[in-house]
Chain A
Amino acid sequence: MIEQIKKIRWSHYIAYIVIGLLLLFFAFFGPTDRSTQFMLEKIAISIILAVSLSLVVGFLGELSLGHAGFMCVGAYLGGKASVILQSSLGKDSVWNLILSLLVGGLVAAICGVIIGIPALRLRGDYLAIVTLAFGEIVRSVFLNSSDSSFGGTLGLSTPRYDRNSLYIYAFVIVLITLFIVQNFIRSKHGRAVTAIRDNEIAARSTGINITKYKLVAFTISAFFAGIAGVLHSFSNYTVQSATFGYNYSIEILVMVVLGGMGNINGAIISATLITYLDTKLSTILTGDRAILQNLIYALVLILIVIYNNAPALKSFRERYNFKVLFNKMFSKKDPSHRADDAAKWDVVPTKIEMNEILSVDMKPQNLGSDKPQKGGDK
Chain B
Amino acid sequence: MNDYILETKDLGISFGGLKAAQNVNIKIKKNQIYGLIGPNGAGKTTIFNLLTGVYKPTTGTFFLDGEEICGLSQEKINHKGIARTFQNIRLFNNMTVVRNVMVGLHNDPAFKCTVWESFLRLPRHFKSEKAMRERAKELLKIFDLDDERNNYACNLPYGKQRKLEIARALATNPKLLLLDEPAAGMNPHETEDLEKTVRFIRDEFDLTVLLIEHDMKFVAGLCDELTVLNFGTVLAEGDTRTALQDPEVIRAYIGG
A residues adjacent to B (C-beta < 8 A):
180, 183-184, 187-192, 194-195, 197-199, 201-210, 216, 339-343, 345, 348-350
Q: Which residue of A lies closest to B101 (CB)?
A: A206
Contact with A along B118-134 (1 / 0, CB 8 A): 11110001001100110
Contact yes or no, A206 B103, CB < 8 A: yes
Contact yes or no, B98 A341, CB < 8 A: yes
> Smallest distance from the beta carbon of A309 to chain B beta carbons, Å?
18
Partner of A191, one of B79, B90, B103, B121: B103
How far apart sit A209 and B90, CA to CA, in the bound complex (Å)? Answer: 17
Measured between beta carbons, the chain A residues less than 8 angstroms from B169 are 205-206
Contact yes or no, A187 B96, CB < 8 A: no
Residue B84 CB within 8 A of the other chain: yes
Measured between beta carbons, the chain A residues less than 8 angstroms from B52 are 205
How far apart sit A210 and B98, CA to CA, in the bound complex (Å)? Answer: 21
Measured between beta carbons, the chain B residues less than 8 angstroms from A207 are 75, 78-79, 83, 104, 106-107, 172
How far apart sit A356 and B230, CA to CA, in the bound complex (Å)? Answer: 42
Query: A207-B83, A339-B150 are known contacts; what are 16 more A-B pairs with Cβ within 8 Å?
Result: A183-B121, A187-B113, A187-B129, A192-B103, A198-B93, A201-B74, A202-B91, A202-B92, A203-B92, A205-B52, A205-B83, A206-B172, A208-B106, A341-B150, A348-B95, A349-B94
Contact yes or no, A183 B98, CB < 8 A: no
Q: Identify 27 residue pairs between A and B in the complex whose beta-carbon atoms are under 8 Å apart, listed by A's number.
A: A183-B120, A188-B102, A189-B118, A190-B118, A191-B103, A191-B106, A194-B92, A195-B103, A199-B90, A201-B54, A202-B86, A202-B91, A202-B92, A204-B73, A204-B74, A204-B75, A204-B78, A205-B54, A205-B75, A205-B78, A205-B86, A206-B104, A206-B168, A207-B79, A207-B172, A341-B98, A345-B96
> Smallest distance from the beta carbon of B43 to chain A beta carbons, Å?
19
Measured between beta carbons, the chain B residues less than 8 angstroms from A201 are 54, 74, 86, 90
Contact yes or no, A199 B92, CB < 8 A: yes
How far apart sit A342 and B129, CA to CA, in the bound complex (Å)? Answer: 12
> Smallest distance from the beta carbon of A278 to chain B beta carbons, Å?
32
Which residues, 65 to 86 on B, are CB-close (under 8 Å) to A? 73-75, 78-79, 83-84, 86
Contact yes or no, B113 A198, CB < 8 A: no
Residue B115 CB within 8 A of the other chain: yes
> Smallest distance from the beta carbon of B138 to chain A beta carbons, Å?
15
How far apart sit A349 and B78, CA to CA, in the bound complex (Å)? Answer: 28
Measured between beta carbons, the chain A residues less than 8 angstroms from B91 are 198-199, 202
Residue B149 CB within 8 A of the other chain: yes
Measured between beta carbons, the chain B residues less than 8 angstroms from A348 are 94-95
Residue B99 CB within 8 A of the other chain: yes
Contact yes or no, A206 B119, CB < 8 A: no
Contact yes or no, A194 B95, CB < 8 A: yes
Q: Which residue of B lies closest to A185 (CB)?
A: B118
Whether A341 contacts B149 in the complex (CB less than 8 A), given A188-B113, A188-B118, A208-B106, comes out as: yes
Which residues, 167 to 219 on B, are CB-close (under 8 Å) to A? 168-169, 171-172
Measured between beta carbons, the chain A residues less than 8 angstroms from B104 are 206-207
Measured between beta carbons, the chain B residues less than 8 angstroms from A202 are 86, 90-92
The CB with the most chain B CB atoms within 10 A, among A183, A189, A205, A210, is that of: A205
Residue B111 CB within 8 A of the other chain: yes
Whether A205 contacts B74 in the complex (CB less than 8 A), given A180-B119, A189-B115, A195-B103, comes out as: yes
Contact yes or no, A183 B118, CB < 8 A: yes
B residues adjacent to A (C-beta < 8 A):
52, 54, 73-75, 78-79, 83-84, 86, 90-96, 98-99, 102-104, 106-107, 111, 113, 115, 118-121, 125, 128-129, 132-133, 149-150, 168-169, 171-172
Measured between beta carbons, the chain A residues less than 8 angstroms from B150 are 339-341, 343
How far apart sit A189 and B96, CA to CA, in the bound complex (Å)? Answer: 16
Measured between beta carbons, the chain B residues less than 8 angstroms from A204 are 73-75, 78
Measured between beta carbons, the chain A residues less than 8 angstroms from B168 are 206
The CB with the most chain A CB atoms within 10 A, among B83, B96, B120, is that of: B96
The CB with the most chain A CB atoms within 10 A, among B75, B91, B99, B171, is that of: B75
Contact yes or no, B78 A216, CB < 8 A: no
How far apart sit A188 and B108, CA to CA, in the bound complex (Å)? Answer: 12
Partner of A203, one of B79, B102, B103, B115: B103
Contact yes or no, B118 A341, CB < 8 A: no
Measured between beta carbons, the chain A residues less than 8 angstroms from B74 are 201, 204-205
> Smallest distance from the beta carbon of B69 to chain A beta carbons, Å?
13
Partner of B106, one of A199, A206, A340: A206
How far apart sit A202 and B171, CA to CA, in the bound complex (Å)? Answer: 13
Whether A191 contacts B119 in the complex (CB less than 8 A), given A205-B83, A339-B150, A341-B133, comes out as: no
Partner of A188, one of B92, B94, B111: B111
Measured between beta carbons, the chain B residues less than 8 angstroms from A183 are 118-121
Contact yes or no, B115 A198, CB < 8 A: no
Contact yes or no, B92 A187, CB < 8 A: no
Contact yes or no, B128 A188, CB < 8 A: yes
The 5 A-B residue pairs with the shortest CB-CB distance in the complex, in nearest-first order: A187-B118, A207-B78, A202-B90, A198-B92, A348-B94
Q: Which residue of A lies closest to B84 (CB)?
A: A205
> Smallest distance from the beta carbon of B223 to chain A beta carbons, Å?
23
Whether A210 contacts B54 in the complex (CB less than 8 A), given A184-B119, A198-B93, comes out as: no
How far apart sit A339 and B169, CA to CA, in the bound complex (Å)? Answer: 25
Measured between beta carbons, the chain B residues less than 8 angstroms from A341 are 96, 98-99, 133, 149-150
Contact yes or no, B79 A216, CB < 8 A: no
How far apart sit A97 and B98, CA to CA, in the bound complex (Å)? Answer: 43
How far apart sit A340 and B96, CA to CA, in the bound complex (Å)? Answer: 10
How far apart sit A191 and B168, CA to CA, in the bound complex (Å)? Answer: 14
How far apart sit A194 and B93, CA to CA, in the bound complex (Å)? Answer: 10
